[in-house]
Every structure is written in C-alpha cells, then in structure tokens.
Amino acid sequence: MTDQRPPGDLPGGEPGGLTCDEVRDLAASFVLGALTDSEMDAVREHLADCPETHDEFAELGAVVPALDAAVPLMEPPSGLRDRILAVAAADLDARRQVDASSAAPAPPVAAARTVAPRAAEPVGPSDVEPVAGPTPAAEPISIESARRRRPLTWLAGIAAVLAIVLLGAWNLSLQGQLNAAQTYQQQVASVLSAASQPGALTAVLAPPSGQGPNGIAAVTSDGKMRIAMRDLAPTTGDEVYEAWMILPNTPPAPVGGLTVGSDGSGFIEAGGVPAQPGLVLALTREPRPGMTAPSGDPVSVGTTTSTENSTG
Amino acid sequence: MSESSGPLPLRVATVADDADRAALERIARDELGALDDLYERYKTMAYSIAYRITNDAALAEDVVQEAFLGVWRNASRYVEGRGSVKTWLLSIVHHRAIDAVRRRRATVDLPERDDAPPPALRLPDLWGEVAANLDADEVRAALASLSDVQREALELAYFGGLTQTEIAERTGTPLGTVKSRMRLGLLAMREMLSP
C-alpha cells in the first residue's frame, strides 16, 4: 500500500482511499488537527487498515502537545469553579432523580480501567479511546492542597437547591424528565455564567406567598440580564410571562417575555437592565405580549444583590 | 533537521499522576469533591489553553466548564494506558476550544461533532507524555527559533483551528508549502526539545 496513485486515479482498494504517500503528506496536518473532518476520517481509516506502521505520525505528533507549554498562564475567574460545581451537582441530582424514577436499577458506574501502559503501541485509530491528547507543560501540583475540600458557595448552593426542588416537582415521563432537567440545568448554568462576571448582580426569584414559580437571575455590569425559572404554569394562546424591572419610584418596565410549555421551565435573556443593587425583578402572567404595564400581581419576585459580597 | 529517531522517551509516572487517577476514580463514583480537586490542580492550564485558542474570556470559561463537566460525566471512559489524567483533561480542553472557534467562524465543512475528540488528538497520547515535563521557556525558545512562516503555520493550525487549506488561503501560500512548513517546523521543534 505504498505506491503513489497516478493523478486522477479514483480511490480504490487503498485504506481510507488514500495511498501511503498521500497519508505521509498529510501527517503534519493530521497531528496538528489541520484537516477537515472528512480528511481526518480518511487518514484514520488508512492508519487502521494499513500494515505499515507509519512512524511519521509518532515522530511528528510527539511534539504537538509541547505547544501547550508555550501558552501564557492565566488564572480563570474565581466564579468559574462555583459554576462548574453547581452544574455538576445539578447533573448528579438529575441522574439520581432519573435513576430513582426508573424501575430498573441503574447500571453500575464502570471503574476506571487499569490497563498497563504500553511503550510501543501501533499508531492508529482502531483502539483509540474517545479522548486522548497532548500533555501541556507540567505545573507544580500540591496534592495536599488539591485535596482540600471546600464548601460550596452560595452560588453552587442556589443552583443545587433549585435543581433539586425542580426535579422533585416534576412529574414527567422518564425521558421527558431527563430532557427537562437538562434544559433547566443549561439555563441555570447560563445564569451562573453571567453571575460569575465581575460586577454582576444576582436575584433569587420566589413567589410572594406560598408555592409557585421560582428561579434565579443575574444582571451583568453591562446591563445584560438572564433569568432561569421553573415551576411555571404552561401558557396558552397568546399568554406570556413578562419580566419587569422596578427601580425605586419608577413604574415597572418590561424587560422580556416568554411562553412556557409542559416542562414548566423558562429562560429570559435581555439587555438594558441597570446593574444596580436593589433592583426588583418581577414576573407576571400576561394575556398577550407587548404589555406596557403589569395587568396583575407578580407570580415571582426577587431583588438584585451583589455577588462580590456573597462569595466565599 | 532531525530525520531520526523514533518515538521520544516516555516520562515516568509521577505522584501527581497517582493522585489524579485517584481523583478520577472518585469522580467516577460521583464525588463532587474530587472534581473540585481536579479543577484546583489544572484550572490554570485549562483556562490558559482555552483562552489562547479562543481569545475570548467568556468563551474560554465556557470551554473549561464543558471540559470539566465532560470529565465529570465520562470519568469511567478514561483509559490509563493511554496517558495521564492531565493529558486526557487538557486534550478535552483543547478539543472544545478548537470546536468553539470553528463554530464561531461558521466554517461550512465543519459540522457539529458532539463529544468527538479533537482531530489531532485521536492518536495514542503516549506521544503527549514526552511533553509533560518540558519547561515552558524551553518550548517558547524552540518556537521562537523557528522561521516566522513555520511558527505561523503551526500556530494557525494548533491554536487557530485552521485547516491546511484555510492556512494556505489566509497566508496566500501554496498548499504544498503550508504542509512543508508545518512538517519542518514540527521536526525542528522535535530536534530542539529532544533530550
């Protein structure tokens, strides 16, 4: 499989439709990821079936992960950790809820496999695992430091509690429940993403009395607002839920609306909202879109506060 | 230029590797604290790589979040023989970041790829182990020693997420020349970084 194909000759019996020479020509681009998906697949197919070892891939590929070591180091925003843990917690709760709802026992989590490292392994995709890749430069690691457990901050707590309450309230089919959980999880993650930005404000929206819709909102310093809500009654016809911002001594101003399906969750993203602590956010159910003033009492209300004074 | 050599020697396992594997096993048992541990260890590298590729703080955050959640959900899919947990984790970060910038460019021939790993990273990452203990200054010096056009080609491919054809178009260079620059650049770096 080493002969070069004459120009114009269509791919035939060559692995991946490529000759060995053609694959060698693509090796550098392949290890750098600089091919289209179809080209990558063709090379992979060739490597899987070709009896030649194609050492050029190992020779060139060995260097690629070193490129990560050249990256200037930057610390991520402090809120990112909370966001990741909050979403992971919500994900875990969703899985547990689904498991609990299922008649069949949940499949056991497979333990990490312990395959002995092999120093000389054929290069090829046939036994490639879903993810494998480069190793950036080593960084100092304090194991003891890394093992320290930290309590979840308020942000993680809010997301986890919301997810738990949400999931407990839902009475959907298993798949529907999972889909709804994932949807709400993504919405909460989006709000937390905004909440983690410097200068952002957050608000927990809750019904004025008793049970009802609740959720979480974030307003960034540039006036963008996201609200994730759950337990909303589905809208019908032209009905919408409208979000209002209420500044002191100022009539409510509409900031965005949404319709709600059977899953009861809703998400609003809008701009032009002042990042001002004490701003009241309210959600009302309106007979139609475009209302300039609330037609009834709010179903859920919250007041923005600064996250910087609350994170731990 | 080196024409030699065979695979570079593999590094030995470190204490950090053992701790990482232990953390991953705990993650596979749904222990949130283990995810926290792993994040604390690799947050800087992960975010730095994501930011280098996306050049967008918000997008880099999303990439890192997706990567760690990918680990959270797929810890049991890690295969020890393929390399370190660090390698695995950071490869996910790179993959997600490249996907993000390619989506941002709305390149027509790059469909959504779900959780597929980055194209360049589907090969055995035993390769990657060679780079684990390289000093950042060494690597930067090696990169700096390349010709401008070689360095440009490598960076557009690896950090820019461009295909060889896109690099050729962007730089106004014949495709064959782009391939040659990438190959010679990698070989030159290999020679400089080899022990």
Q: What is the complex's ipTM, to 2 decimals?
A: 0.78
- Using the beta-carbon criterion (under 8 Å), do B126 and A121 form an inter-chain contact? yes
CB nearest B75 (choices: A61, A112, A146)? A112
CB contact under 8 A, A36 and B143: no
pTM above 0.90, yes or no: no
Model pLDDT for residues A228-275, shown as the tens digit of each residue? 888 888 888 888 888 988 877 777 888 888 888 877 888 888 888 888
Nearest C-alpha in B relative to A73:
B48
DSSP structural state of residue A236: -
Q: For B2-45, write each residue's pLDDT tens digit.
A: 334 444 443 445 567 788 889 999 999 999 999 999 999 999 99
Measured between alpha carbons, how far is B135 from A138 in angstroms, rounded to an integer?
8
Tell me how far apart the alpha carbons of residues B171 and B167 are, in angstroms, rounded to a whole number: 6
CB A71 to CB B113 under 8 A? no
Torsion-angle region of residue B16: left (phi > 0), alpha (psi -120 to 50) or beta? alpha
Interface contact A31-B120, CB threshold 8 A: yes
Please judge whether B133 and A138 are an interchain contact, meaning their C-beta atoms are less than 8 angstroms apart: yes
Q: Give the model confidence (pLDDT) of B113-162 as tens digits.
A: 334 444 333 333 444 444 455 678 888 899 999 999 999 999 999 999 89
Q: Which residues of B touch A195 (CB under 8 A)?
A: none
**Most B CBs within 10 Å, among A22, A35, A54, A131, to test the B interface:** A131
Tokens standing for residue B80: 């020890």
Nearest to A191 by CA among A160, A159, A167: A159
Contacts 24+ apart (CB under 8 A), A284-288: A284/A241, A284/A242, A284/A244, A285/A233, A285/A235, A285/A239, A285/A240, A285/A241, A285/A242, A286/A239, A286/A240, A286/A241, A286/A242, A286/A257, A287/A238, A287/A239, A288/A238, A288/A239, A288/A240
Q: Nearest CA to CA, how far is A248 from chain B (Å)? A: 32
Q: Do A118 and B133 touch (CB under 8 A)?
A: no
Contacts of B138 in chain A (CB under 8 A): 69
For A112-169, write each residue's pLDDT tens digit. 322 222 222 323 322 233 333 333 322 222 223 323 333 334 444 445 444 444 444 4
